[in-house]
Structure 1
């Protein structure tokens, strides 16, 4: 456990020092502010009501989980694996007294921390932006729904991370992994549209999982079913990715 903790701290320091993490935060902030400005302009000039301050964070979440967040998850994940493969720094890391399983787990855990941090920052930015540009006040139920929505979104993003990790360990080239991840993401989104009867089994369909948690009548069974599906995805993808990683000759 000590080795895993040290490896996790080391991986988090690597992410912290890279410009991609900072770029993700800055772009998220810009996206949220400009989104709120656009809504305010439309509301004031065209008489459209727009969204309230409590609805704005959920609107931002629905947009970023299909645009910015998958993009930065892909970039950070590829850099964490393919970047070290191409620079031959993975071999140096493995000279430390740590097993490959702990190193592999630490890398994924650090990416999960990054995803959760970005979600929480986006939540805070969107709430503040909503309060600044819209005088509507929040109530405790609205705040609870927003916190729950952003928190549970971590799980679908982790599944996406594990998919990219598997690709990154199969294909060493970062560019190839990036474009393959985009193609797979678009393909699964298309399958949801053209094959709606099977859309529930595609991992991209669970990106809107948070909507189940904020319904008036929470569908507990459906939440449990989708959680078990995500857990199955996580186990399969983590195992497959580690198998490839463990058999690599660095």
Structure 2
């Protein structure tokens, strides 16, 4: 456990020192601020209601998980695996007294912490933005729903991370993995449209999982079913990725 903790701290430090993590935070903040300003200008100049301040964080969440966050998850994951493969630094890391399983798990855990941090910061920024522009439309119930929505979104984003981790261990070239990740993402999104009857089994359809948690009548059975689907994805992808990682000759 001590080895895993040290490896996790080391991986988090690597992410912290890289510009990609800082860029993700800055872009999220800029996106939220300009989004709120745009909505306010439309409301004031054209008389269009748009979205209320309590709905704004959920609108931001929907856009972030479908555009910004997948992009940064791909970049960070590729850098964590392919970057070290190409620079031959993985071999140096493995000279430490740590098993490959613990190193592999620490890398994934650090990326999950990065994802959760972006979600929490985006949630805080969007709530503050809503309070500044229209505090009257907020209440404790809205804040609770927003908080739950951002927290549960971590689960489908972890599945996306594991998909990219698997690709990064199959193909060492970071550019190839990046474009292949985009193609896989687009392919699954397209299959949701062309095969709506089977959309529930595609991991990209689970990005909207948070909507089930904020309904007036929460569908507990559907939530449990989708959770089990994501758990199945996680077990399969994690195991497949580790099998390849463990058999690599660094």
Q: Which residue pairs with 1:201 in the alignment?
A: 201
2:136 and 2:51 map into 1 onto residues whose CA distance is: 10
Q: Which residue pairs with 2:130 in the alignment?
A: 130
1:139 and 1:25 map into 2 onto residues whose CA distance is: 26
Residue correspondences, number: 250
2:230 and 2:124 map into 1 onto residues whose CA distance is: 26
Alignment check: 8 A CA contact 1:70 1:160 kept = yes
2:7 and 2:137 map into 1 onto residues whose CA distance is: 43
Q: TM-score with structure 1 length normalisation?
A: 0.99
Q: How big is the shift at 1:138?
A: 1.8
Q: Which residue pairs with 2:147 in the alignment?
A: 147
After TM superposition, the structure 1 = structure 2 runs for residues 73-112 of structure 1, keeping only pairs within 5 Å, are 73-112=73-112
After TM superposition, the structure 1 = structure 2 runs for residues 10-159 of structure 1, keeping only pairs within 5 Å, are 10-159=10-159
Aligned to 2:66, what secondary structure does the other structure show?
coil
Alignment check: 8 A CA contact 1:52 1:136 kept = no
Which consecutive segments of 4 or more residues in structure 1 shift more than 6 A? none
Aligned to 1:222, what secondary structure does the other structure show?
helix
1:148 and 1:44 map into 2 onto residues whose CA distance is: 31
1:44 and 1:107 map into 2 onto residues whose CA distance is: 47
Q: Which residue pairs with 1:218 in the alignment?
A: 218
Please say which of residues 132-141 and 165-174 is displaced more in the overlay: 132-141
CA displacement, residues 208-245 of structure 1 (integer Å, 9 cap, x when unaligned): 00000000000000000000000000000000000000
CA displacement, residues 111-157 of structure 1 (integer Å, 9 cap, x when unaligned): 00000000000000000111112242421111110000000000000
1:112 and 1:237 map into 2 onto residues whose CA distance is: 15
Please say which of residues 129-138 and 171-180 is displaced more in the overlay: 129-138
The question of 1:179 aligning with 2:215 is answered no
The question of 1:233 aligning with 2:228 is answered no
Q: How big is the shift at 1:53?
A: 1.4
Please say which of residues 33-42 and 206-215 is displaced more in the overlay: 33-42
What stretches of structure 1 of length at least 5 have no aligned partner? none
Q: RMSD over aligned Cα, in angstroms?
A: 0.6
Please say which of residues 133-142 and 6-15 is displaced more in the overlay: 133-142
What stretches of structure 2 of length at least 5 have no aligned partner? none
Aligned to 1:72, what secondary structure does the other structure show?
helix
Q: TM-score with structure 2 length normalisation?
A: 0.99
